Amino acid sequence: MPAAEGHRRFEGRRALVTGASRGIGAAVAERLGAEGAAVAITARTLDRHPTLAGSLHETADRIERHGSQAAIVVADIADPDDRSRIVPEAVAALGGPIDILVNNAAAAMYQPLADYPLKRRRLTFEINFHAPLDLIQAVLPGMTAAGAGWIVNLSSATARPASGPPFTRPRIAAMAIYGSSKSALNRLTNGLAIELWGTGVRVNTVEPRAAVMSEGAEMVAGDVITPEMVESMEAMVEGTLALCDCDAERTGGVFVSLDLIHELGLEVHNLDGSSPA
């Protein structure tokens, strides 16, 4: 039975998901809607991207098919002025403060460090570190006033240093800037959790154990990812949603989706909230 017809654990909560026109963000937004949340979604692609499938309108349609409210905020998260609109517009559209923030939007540009341009470095950290913190700062007053809130930052295993020498995965070096930005995000998660301890606001990070083949991942790394290296979209979403509904004692952690699912004994559901056949 789809969650829209059964278990709606997020009923009455308002969520904001970034990077929700496709990939993990769109999947998380749909699942939140399937389980009853009113969901604000933001990205740049309202109707159609020139090379990638997915749009905010498509994600909103899926949320609304589950009987939940969807609010669209078109914004360029890389632009500080533009992203400053996101939370106020989401709050106005959903009719109240944000209970759940999922910082999913990310920039991933892989190339060797020896000639990695400064412009790309700045853009990576702008999107992967500064934007999540700006959005967190914008939702915190509402969360602390309510005495509860759930902030989930999406990270990556590339945040951890590679073992060696010898170094057996030379290609991982090209992911160092992306991984560095996610390492900074992980440290931010922990620091915020310490500051907010006792307020009821939970701040956590989740990362996939294996590659999740979103449209973007397929485009940038599809040629080197083999089936045994892949984690299902549904599993990544299941791990993410566990942190959108965790108790106040689970905060400040960097969790791996499949490990968290195993720890909590969760069943991986479909994106409509139904159990797999």
Cβ contacts of residue 27 below 8 Å, gap of 6+? 233, 234, 236, 237, 271
DSSP state of 163: P
How far, in Å, are 4, 16, 134 from residue 93 at the CA level? 21, 11, 19
Gap between the Cα atoms of 158 and 47, Å rounded: 31
Catalytic residue among 155, 180, 181, 214: 155
Gap between the Cα atoms of 121 and 101, Å rounded: 25
Which two tokens mark 251? 């905060």
* 63 contacts 29 by C-beta, under 8 angstroms: yes
Annotation marks residue 155 as catalytic:
yes
Q: What is the CA radius of gyration of the chain?
A: 18
Catalytic residue among 21, 178, 181, 214: 178
Annotation marks residue 55 as catalytic:
no
Annotation marks residue 116 as catalytic:
no
CA-wise closest residue to 102 among 239, 268, 274, 269 = 239
Q: Give how far the C-alpha of residue 257 lies from the chain's centroid of Cα atoms, to the nearest Å.
A: 12
Catalytic residue among 21, 55, 182, 183: 182
Per-residue burial over 37-72, b = 16 or more CB atoms within 10 Å of its CB, e = otherwise: bbbbbbbbbeeeeeebebbbebbbebbeebebbbbb
- Region of 36 on the Ramachandran plot (φ > 0 left; ψ -120 to 50 alpha; else beta): left
Q: Is the dihedral of CA 111, 114, 116, 121 positive or negative?
A: positive
Q: Which residues are catalytic?
A: 155, 178, 182
